[in-house]
Amino acid sequence: MDKIIAEKAQNELTMILLYLSRFTEGSRFSDGKDFYAWKGYDFDILNSLDDKDYIRQGERPSRRKSVYLTETGIDYAKELLEKYGIKDWD
């Protein structure tokens, strides 16, 4: 694998961690396919991922403790798992 710059790696690895630590709201959603993740990462990175529509932080991001993973974000995270050779949860 070619080396990548640290900033790009930080963005990609944050997306991977958001995806791997995902959860659902269970009883709120009948299909259980809406994924959320706790946000405890660099705000600039989260804002960048939100701008790319990989996650959504809501109208007042500073008050939210979790983010919503979009379908685009889930697909992107799966591509990154493949890129880094990480196996998804079974």
Domain boundaries, the chain: 6-84
* pLDDT attached to residue 27: 46
Residue partners of 33: CB distance under 8 A and separation at least 6: 24
* Residue-level pLDDT at 59: 84
| pLDDT computed for residue 45 by the predictor | 96
Q: How far is CA 42 from the centre of its chain?
A: 13
Residue 31's pLDDT band (boundaries 50, 70, 90)?
A: low
Which of the listed CATH numbers 1.10.10, 1.10.3470, 1.20.1050, 3.40.50 matches domain 6-84?
Answer: 1.10.10
**Residue 67 φ then ψ, to 5°:** -120, 160
* Predicted TM-score (pTM) of this structure: 0.85
